[in-house]
Chains A and B, each alone.
Chain A
Amino acid sequence: MIRFLARRLIFALLLVVTVSSGALFLTRLAPGDVTSNLGAFARPEEVARMRARFDLDRSAAAQWGGWALRAIRFDFGDSFLYNRPVGGLIQRAAGNTAVLAVAALSLATLLGIPLGIISGSRRGFAPALIRGASLVCLSIPPLLTSLLLVFVASRTGWLPAGGMTSVSAVDAGWPSWVLDVARHLPLPAVALALPIAATFERLQAQSMTETIHQPFVIAALARGVTWDRAVIGHAWRASLRSMCAIYGLAIGALLSGSFVVEYVTAWPGLGRLMFEALRARDIYLVAGCAAMGGVFLAIGSVTADLLLFAADPRVREGQTT
């Protein structure tokens, strides 16, 4: 297991380095650079100073070298847009995205897994209803759910239609700040969670139907184990293996979806920050965001592996990897 984990960690590290370096080079090679934000009437010496500040006067390789050396010491350079070190900006945005992603993933799990167990192990009206609902939810990607929810919110006023905090709550101390964020969170979280919950439901239902006909479940039923216990205790445990693999993939979907949701609902997360940075050619901010995205991906895939270890004794004993 240690060797396996070590290999995954090396892969994760490689991922972060490749993604952030790739983003750096891509931004560097793109037409136009950060100095175009200064406007057409900027003095030449000002442009030259800006280029020097962001190492644009050096070759791309030299810039990458300098950036990588500093990044090892957690100095990710400055942002042009915010005129601040990138590290702090990323930290805050990543925190916001993490709150959104964790909320959405929990919601998707709480909705998708139990419903999947029900629709996968039973017949009748309720499972058919669940199946239909999840088919509809599968067909509404986050772009549409968030637009729809924003529309509903702006129409009814039940929830704030965008943003993460209200202006009034910022200065009112942290308890009211937390309450305020909690009021803003449901809309983007639901928008992000619905399609993922539907996917979870479908996959759980499928693997449930498969495992429920396995000999060990039939044997358990023959021993006199009740239907519910056989479903939860035996069949579901065995179906967990394929679900864990999905969680690793879900992180990518969460990140992709969170960009759209953050953009539509004005949630100040990593996706929005990266988008702004890309448009302004804010090179170090782009690289920093990409690195953070890579970290998220790596955390996701390693967590999925750990879950797999915890859930499936066959993997623990090294029979399959």
Chain B
Amino acid sequence: MKDAGRALLVVIVLVAIAAPWLAPNPPDRQFNDFFYAPPTAVHVFEGGLQAPYFYPLRIVSRLERRFEEVRDRPIRIEWFGRGHLLGVDPSESAPLLLLGADSYGRDIFSRLLFGARASLGLAALATLAAMIFGAAIGGIAGYAGGAIDELLSRLSDFVLVLPATYVVLALRAVMPLVLPARTVFVLLAGIFALVGWPVVARGVRGIIASEREREYIAAGRAAGASPMRLLAKHLMPAAHGYLATQATLLLPAFILAEATLSYVGLGFPDTVPTWGTMLHDASNVAMLGEAPWMLAPAAAIFLVVLAVNLLVQGSGRSPVQLEP
């Protein structure tokens, strides 16, 4: 179970890294006449096994968004051509849309791959920031004890009580609503870290506080090690296992937070492919019933969370993370 989770996570990360090579189409290329086009059916079998090909789609009714396959002109799928894993000749009449197209006629599969970079990258950055921040504060609180400990613990307890979604929402909503993508990336990472650190800090504080009573710390102190050195070099390794678990739990939480924010229109601008902005595109209920492939990013998020749950459950630790 643990191995399955880890393998799944590794595959997802590799896919995100290799997105420009794996994606058959540019993520922001709009194919006119392919709004809400269904996934392309790839054929490999016709009177014996063949190289994969598909029939181009042609729009029949713009109003009903009905498409039909043009049966007489199959298009060959090219492997390893033009610097991509697979693709079609750009001069062909129809693009390869493995997961269909969205409301602007953009390739959902390609956007999903590129979206993985933004969503995972943001979550990873935010997790890193939350870990560093939380470990530092928890370490200081646990090592110093006394009034400093009391103050820092109360602070983190207070942040923990608040429902994270609302804090993130409120902090984002009071910023200017329209911002460039790069700014949004940094801003969201900062906000997520601000909400995420107390979880880390509380656990680290407990570990450090019990660990500092051990003999090796007394020995280190007697040898003249400074508190900073003791904390960073000798005490922090004790919290490594805890930090690793917390990182795996925070990562999907932040992916989801980005998705939620972008879904309600407070995340990235619509042009940037992330899993959240793609879900935002699926928020049109009337269209959702007819174009279920718009939910592809939801499946991607599910896979990440599932991988993490498998990993954490397999290690015998309980996911007490209730939100989000």
The reply to whether B320 and A203 form a contact with Cβ atoms under 8 Å apart is yes
Q: A15-B161, A279-B173 are in contact. Are A144 and B302 (CB under 8 A)?
A: yes
Cβ of B224 < 8 Å from any Cβ of A? no
**Is the CB–CB distance between A275 and B169 below 8 Å?**
yes
Q: Give A125-164 as 1s and 0s: 1 = Cβ < 8 Å from B's Cβ atoms.
A: 0000000000110111111100110110011000001100
Contact A27 B163 (CB under 8 A): no
- Nearest residue in B to A294 (C-beta to C-beta)? B162
Q: Is B313 an interface residue (CB 8 A)?
A: yes
Is A206 in contact with B323, judged by CB distance below 8 angstroms?
no
A241, CB-defined interface residue at 8 Å: no
Q: Which residues of chain B from 121 to 177 have a CB within 8 Å of any chain A CB?
A: 158, 161-166, 169-171, 173-177
Partner of A143, one of B163, B174, B263: B263
Evaluate contact between B166 and A274: CB separation under 8 angstroms: yes
Provide the bound-state CA to CA distance between A286 and B288, in Å: 32
Within 8 Å CB of B260, what residues of A? 143, 260
**Total A-B Cβ pairs within 8 A:** 137
- Whether B323 contacts A253 by the Cβ 8 Å rule is yes
Query: Is residue A196 within 8 Å, beta carbon to beta carbon, of the partner chain?
Result: yes
**B309 x A19 contact (CB < 8 A):** no
Cα of A150 to Cα of B288 in the assembled complex, Å: 9
User: Chain B: interface residue count, which band?
Assistant: 35 or more
Chain A neighbourhood of B163, CB < 8 A? 252-253, 255-256, 259, 293, 297
Q: Given A260-B260, A263-B264, A279-B177: A202 and B285 within 8 A (CB)? A: no
- Please encode chain A, from 244 to 270, with 1 for each CB lying within 8 Å of some chain B CB and 0 for all others: 001001101101110110011000000
CB distance from A262 to the nearest CB of B (A): 11
**A144/B301 in contact, CB under 8 A:** yes
Tell whether, in the assembled complex, residue B166 and residue A256 are in contact, meaning their CB atoms are under 8 Å apart: yes
Q: A144-B302, A162-B285 are in contact. Are A255 and B292 (CB under 8 A)?
A: no
Residues of chain B with a CB closer than 8 A to A260's CB? 165, 260, 263, 324
Shortest CB–CB separation between residue B39 and chain A, in angstroms? Answer: 16
Known: A136-B306, A278-B173. A154 touches B286 (CB 8 A): yes
**Extra 4 A-B pairs, beta carbons < 8 Å, given A31-B174, A144-B301, A256-B323:** A161-B285, A246-B322, A260-B260, A271-B166
Give 27 pairs: A residue, B residue, CB < 8 Å, sorted on A.
Answer: A19-B162, A26-B171, A31-B174, A135-B313, A138-B305, A141-B305, A141-B324, A142-B324, A144-B301, A144-B302, A147-B288, A151-B292, A151-B295, A162-B285, A252-B322, A252-B323, A253-B323, A253-B324, A255-B163, A256-B323, A259-B165, A260-B165, A263-B264, A278-B169, A278-B173, A279-B177, A293-B166
